[in-house]
Each structure stands twice: as structure tokens, then as C-alpha cells.
């Protein structure tokens, strides 16, 4: 600690507070949607290498990138030079961060049972307390267990929902593997609550399956994104690099690990780790599968944002599934059901060809290593207007869409 930091620390000690690290600001950063031509990704990746921008995502109408404060002119010049059109989709990233999650209001005061709402994005404690609330309130349906610990030692909690009958088919639902995709844990907890609290009205295929749900597979990253760096994606483990922390947990699974769409650079957002399953978070799930060979896995659903996609293997390798037609049919049906209910449009297809190639992802591991037939990744709202910073007022409509998709997958799994 240097002089001023020491003084700040002492002041905090005197007033009885532990100094908290400062939040990272994204003031002056913008998000641009850039036309997706053959050269786009190459140009953007070289600008990313030079720390001028960070690629956020591929959407049906272009590539979104966050242009770093101070680099706007250079990036504009480079795009013009390469004939790449763009439009500014977010004028100021910090402003979007400030507006995304209003402070919890009076509706949290005096609540009994649990604090979790779907009007705000909540911290990890509220999410975990909610799981235990369900276990206490619906003991015949719900059990909570800890399947492992994160890199920083936080528990990874799994909720099992089951009618207790022997021989049920099983579905694994994984949320929050990417820290900054806050809508994922919010959606997963919403689905759980609708299912459990309205159990008797739920579809028979949902009720006839055993559900294993991890709402936050990356608890360290989620908290770091919640408290310090809103745009954090990876976990928080120490890497071989001195200056960069974190592994992209959705590049760390032991199927086709380290191939296309995964980085070897610990400072990169898609760093796949030093080897497959190097991370305690991914290992906790793999070990749970290994320790429970009697569970009849038939479905795996990984929930992310954003882009509005319902995709299936492969993310990598670049090959077509034998049962491509069957998986496509279910994904299409889910997308149609969402639109019929007044929801948004979701694009359907094999992940690698529909979005971009990504190797070492959980969905491919589920399909390729665990032979789980119905393996899906759902990329929730939106298509780039708010991107990762989807305002909290959209949690419920987004989660409703995901619930429809999960019901559609459940019907296929159960039949």
C-alpha cells in the first residue's frame, strides 16, 4: 500500500469498515454494431489485440464490440479503411450500467421467506438463500446440495427438483457460467420458482422428470461482476500470467478442448485454462456426473446471454450431428412457442455454424462425452440494444421465454 491508500485504510479501520476495492468505470466506452462481412472478425480481433476494443458478441444483424474510451477515432478510421459499416448502439456503457439495476426498493422490506425478486438483479446470498427457502418450503420436491467449491472457495449449489419416483429421466440446467450474464441466474431462479410454486399446474412432462439445477456455476465471477467489474466474464482463478486472472469456464470442458474459438492467452476473455477441467467449477459438475452413474441423463440446458439463440451441438467440432434433424425440430418448436406466446424471435441452429465456433463448452461435453441426447444452449435477450446490460424490468418477460423453451425441451425428453 502507498501513502494515501494506507491513510484510507486507517480511516476505514477507525470508522469500522473494511475498505472495498474500487468499482471499475466504463465511462466513455461505447458499443458499436458492425456489419458482419468476411473481414469483420479479422479486423476486430486485431483491434482487440491492440486493446482498442472488446468483442462482445455476434448477433443476427452484426458484431457488437465495446470501443474503449479514447480509442473511438482510431477504431472509426480502421473500420472506414476496411469498408465496414457500423452504428453506435450504446453511447455510454457506464450510463447503461448505472441504469440497468435500480436499487432494491420497499418491496424487499419485511418480506418473509426469501429476498429474491425478479424485479432486480440480486447478489449471490439472496440467490442461495432462495434455494434453501425452497428446500424448507417444499421438502417433498426440493433438495439442495453443494457439489463443489469455486476457485475462491465459495460453494457451488445445486437444487434437485423431483417427485421422488424411481426411474425418472433427468435434465441438468446450468446458469451463470459467464459472470456478466446476470440475466442467466435471474432466469434460472425464475424458472425454478414458477415450476415449484405452481407445481400442480405445471405440464406433466416437466413434473415427470428429475431436474438438477445449478443457477450460478461461477459464483466468484458473478460477485466480482456484481461488485467490482460489471463486464467480467471468467472465473477468478490464478493463471500462469502475473497480470491476468480467470479462465473462461465455458472453454474449459473436456470435449474438443483448446480448439477453435478458445484462447491460450490468460489475458483473453476466452482463455480455456491450462488443461481441460483445470477449474474447480467445471470439475464440480463433471464429478457430480461421475459420482452418480445411475442418473438417467437425457437433457442438458446451458443458459447464457445474449443474442436470442436456441442452439445445439456442436460448438466444435465443425461437423453435423447424426440426430441434427431431431434436435433442430425441438429448438424450432421452442422458438415457435415463444413467438406464439407473444415473445421475441429466437434464431435456431447448430451453435458453431449459427453463432461462432467455440471449443470446450459444456453443451458439447454433455453431448459428446456424456451422450445426452437433448443438449442445448439458450442465449437469452436481447440482440444488442442493451446486450449484457439488459435492464432489470426485462427479467420477467425474458425468463418467461426461457421457461417456454425449457417446457418444450422437457416434452421431447419425456416422450
Binding footprint of Zn ion on the chain (CB under 5 A): 178, 181, 304
d(CA 28, CA 318) in angstroms, rounded, equals 38
Measured from the CB atom, is 209 or 358 closer to Zn ion?
358
The three cell numbers of residue 124 are 449471490
Measured from the CB atom, is 178 or 367 closer to Zn ion?
178
The partner residues of 367 in beta bridges, in order of sequence, read: none
Measured from the CB atom, is 181 or 256 closer to Zn ion?
181
Task: Residue 350: count other Cβ atoms within 10 Å of its Cβ.
Answer: 20
Measured from the CB atom, is 133 or 232 closer to Zn ion?
232
Measured from the CB atom, is 101 or 184 closer to Zn ion?
184
Measured from the CB atom, is 178 or 236 closer to Zn ion?
178
- Beta carbons of 281 and 150 less than 8 angstroms apart: yes
Measured from the CB atom, is 78 or 304 closer to Zn ion?
304
Q: Does residue 200 come out as left (phi exceeding 0), alpha (psi in the -120 to 50 range) or beta? A: alpha
By three-state DSSP, how is residue 309 classified?
strand
Enclosing H/E stretch for 10: helix 3-15
Q: How far is the CB of 181 from Zn ion (least distance, A)?
A: 5
Q: How far is the CB of 367 from Zn ion (least distance, A)?
A: 17
Of 11, 89, 84, 6, which Cα lies nearest the Cα of 45? 84
Q: How far is the CB of 396 from Zn ion (least distance, A)?
A: 21
> What is the DSSP track for 189-238?
HHHHHHHHHTGGGS-HHHHTSEEEEES-S-HHHHHHHHHT-TT--S---B
Q: How far is the CB of 325 from Zn ion (least distance, A)?
A: 26
How far is C-alpha 391 from the geometric centre of its chain's CA atoms?
A: 16
Q: How far is the CB of 304 from Zn ion (least distance, A)?
A: 3
Reply yes or no on whether 333 is catalytic. no
CA angle 206, 210, 216 (to 5 degrees): 95
SS3 content of the chain, % helix, strand, coil (to 5): 40, 20, 45
Q: How far is the CB of 300 from Zn ion (least distance, A)?
A: 15
Contacts of residue 53, defined as CB under 8 A and 6 or more positions apart, other chains included, come to 44, 47, 65, 66, 67, 68, 71, 75
The residue from 48, 181, 379, 401 that is catalytic is 379
d(CA 316, CA 352) in angstroms, rounded, equals 6
Of 347, 333, 349, 315, which Cα lies nearest the Cα of 411? 333
* DSSP 8-class letter at 263: B
Q: How far is the CB of 9 from Zn ion (least distance, A)?
A: 36
Task: Residue 243: count other Cβ atoms within 10 Å of its Cβ.
Answer: 7
Active site residues: 379
Amino acid at each position: 500500500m502507498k501513502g494515501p491508500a494506507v491513510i484510507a485504510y486507517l480511516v476505514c479501520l477507525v470508522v469500522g469498515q473494511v475498505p472495498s476495492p474500487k468499482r471499475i468505470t466504463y465511462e466513455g466506452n461505447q458499443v458499436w454494431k458492425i456489419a458482419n462481412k468476411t473481414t469483420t472478425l479479422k479486423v476486430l480481433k486485431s483491434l482487440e489485440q491492440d486493446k482498442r476494443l472488446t468483442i462482445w458478441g455476434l448477433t443476427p444483424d452484426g458484431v457488437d464490440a465495446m470501443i474503449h474510451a479514447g480509442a473511438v477515432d482510431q477504431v472509426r478510421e480502421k473500420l472506414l479503411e476496411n469498408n465496414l459499416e457500423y452504428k453506435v448502439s450504446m453511447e455510454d456503457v457506464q450510463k447503461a450500467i448505472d441504469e440497468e439495476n435500480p436499487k432494491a426498493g420497499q418491496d424487499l422490506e419485511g418480506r418473509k421467506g426469501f429476498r429474491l425478486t425478479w424485479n432486480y438483479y440480486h447478489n449471490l446470498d439472496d440467490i442461495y438463500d432462495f434455494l434453501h427457502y425452497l428446500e424448507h418450503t417444499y421438502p417433498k420436491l426440493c433438495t439442495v446440495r453443494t457439489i463443489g467449491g469455486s476457485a475462491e472457495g465459495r460453494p457451488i449449489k445445486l437444487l434437485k427438483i423431483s417427485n421422488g419416483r424411481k426411474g425418472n429421466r433427468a435434465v441438468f440446467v446450468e446458469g451463470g457460467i459467464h459472470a456478466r450474464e446476470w440475466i442467466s441466474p435471474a432466469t434460472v431462479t425464475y424458472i425454478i420458482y414458477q415450476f415449484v410454486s405452481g407445481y400442480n399446474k405445471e405440464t406433466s412432462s416437466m413434473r415427470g422428470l428429475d431436474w438438477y439445477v445449478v443457477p450460478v456455476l461461477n459464483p466468484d465471477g458473478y460477485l466480482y461482476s456484481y461488485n467490482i467489474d460489471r463486464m467480467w466474464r471468467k472465473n477468478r482463478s490464478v493463471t500462469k500470467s502475473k497480470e491476468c486472472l480467470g479462465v473462461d469456464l465455458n472453454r474449459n470442458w473436456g470435449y474438443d478442448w483448446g480448439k477453435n474459438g478458445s484462447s491460450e492467452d490468460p489475458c483473453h476473455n476466452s482463455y480455456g485454462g491450462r488443461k481441460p477441467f483445470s477449474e474447480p467449477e467445471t470439475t464440480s459438475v463433471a464429478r457430480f456426473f461421475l459420482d452418480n452413474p445411475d442418473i438417467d441423463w437425457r437433457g442438458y440446458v446451458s443458459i447464457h446471454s445474449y443474442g436470442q439463440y436456441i442452439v445445439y451441438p456442436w460448438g466444435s467440432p465443425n461437423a453435423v450431428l447424426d440426430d441434427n434433424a431431431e434436435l433442430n425440430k425441438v429448438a424450432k418448436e421452442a422458438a415457435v412457442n415463444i413467438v406464439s406466446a407473444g415473445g421475441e424471435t429466437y434464431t435456431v441452429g447448430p451453435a458453431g455454424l449459427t453463432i461462432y465456433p467455440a471449443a470446450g463448452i459444456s453443451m458439447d461435453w454433455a453431448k459428446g462425452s456424456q451422450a445426452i441426447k437433448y443438449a442445448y444452449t439458450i442465449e437469452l435477450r436481447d440482440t444488442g440494444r442493451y446486450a449484457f446490460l439488459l435492464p432489470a424490468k426485462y427479467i420477467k418477460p425474458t425468463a418467461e421465454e426461457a421457461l417456454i423453451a425449457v417446457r418444450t425441451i422437457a416434452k421431447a425428453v419425456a416422450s
